Amino acid sequence: MTTLTSYLDTNKNTEITPALKDVITTITEVGKTISQLLRKGALADILGEAGQENVQGETQKKLDVLANDLLLDALTHNQHCAGVASEELDDATPANTEGSLLVLFDPLDGSSNIDINMAVGTIFSILPYQRQGHLSTNSDFLQAGNQQLAAGYLLYGTSTVFALTVAEGVAMFSLDPDTGDYILIENDVRIDADTSEYAINSSNYRYWLAPMQQYIDELIAGKTGVRGRDFNTRWVAAMVGDVHRILCRGGLFTYPFDTKDPNKPGKLRLMYEANPTSLLIERAGGAATDATARILDISPTDIHQRVPVVLGSKNEVDYIKKLHLQHADND
């Protein structure tokens, strides 16, 4: 039996530095507390609205606020952490000026699922910090996803699962509620290139671009259309859950560009959601794009910027990209 601690200690990968180990351990320890609070549910008085709005103008749930505060407190007290950025806070919080790492997180992805007892998760991304001796600022975080040193998520579902990528490959751990240890359950997660399962919020159909409408029309036509086979929909309403399903059994997830709100080219956040999940998906053999360009190569201009996301089984992602490029050529 391999625990997360022994995995981080004995993994041959030399890029798992002591600083990374320490920060990853801090995140997973907070994950245990969040998991316990979720398990208590209404009994812990953590359901419902906290009565505040976050920087994105969305109402925060009590547990969003709690999870955010727990992670922020633990990470700013970690000696290796030079700064912390949260989806829930306007600005990044500077921490230890001698730290070598910056941490970004979405404390509770899929928060609308909390009150209905469905899966939610914590997503994180770790970037290098180059300006030791100085307080970190928002601009230090504006690094492309391909610079991430590690990324992962905690999924609080029927069990609590931790997915991690550091330098290469993706490993998955399950939290043993009896011992409090994260136990390795999959050492090298791989995603098949082909899939018949897709995730999209189809209620936004009328706002999508023509190539995305064409793609979904083709999947719905199934055997009777150009794809010549049937497809099936799954939608968790928490990206972290959809990404987890794809890591487990393949699939396609997209929150595409839409014209619903001209100020939002996509719903998902590049730095807290798209970058970390794209790194996991690519490292497991899948692909992640904004429909035409690789997500991990996007140079961020704002820590809260949003981006269209198409990720999962490689052949489906490539096919969507082909449709978008064809439409661009025809325009």
Q: Which is nearer to ligand AFP, 99 or 110 (CB)?
A: 110
Q: Which is nearer to ligand AFP, 105 or 255 (CB)?
A: 255
Q: Which is nearer to ligand AFP, 267 or 321 (CB)?
A: 267
Min CB(299)–ligand AFP separation in Å: 22
Min CB(281)–ligand AFP separation in Å: 14
Per-residue x/- mask for ligand AFP, residues 259 to 278, rule CB under 6 A?
--------xx----------
* DSSP type of residue 182: E
Instruction: Find out whether 78 and 95 touch, Cβ atoms under 8 Å.
Output: yes
d(CA 180, CA 317): 37
Among 22, 14, 85, CA closest to 5? 22
Residue 236 token pair: 């968790």
Q: Which is nearer to ligand AFP, 9 or 53 (CB)?
A: 53
What order of strands is seen across the sheet that includes strand 182-186?
93-94, 81-86, 101-109, 120-128, 150-156, 160-166, 168-175, 182-186
d(CA 137, CA 83): 8
Min CB(264)–ligand AFP separation in Å: 11
Q: Is 58 in the site for ligand AFP (CB under 6 A)?
A: yes
Residue 96 token pair: 């230890």
Count residues binding ligand AFP (CB under 6 A): 12
Count CB atoms within 10 A of the CB of residue 30: 23
Beta pairing partners, 102: 83, 127
Min CB(159)–ligand AFP separation in Å: 19
85-144 positions binding ligand AFP, by CB under 6 A: 109-112
Region of 135-143, 149-157, 233-241, 295-303 interacting with ligand AFP (CB under 6 A): 233-241
Q: Where does residue 144 rank: exposed (0-12), middle (13-18), buried (19+ CB within 10 A)?
A: middle
Q: Is 208 in the site for ligand AFP (CB under 6 A)?
A: no
- Which one of 7, 215, 255, 272 is in contact with ligand AFP (CB under 6 A)? 255
Task: Please report, as ranges, the residues that interact with ligand AFP according to CB under 6 A.
Answer: 58, 109-112, 201, 237-239, 255, 267-268
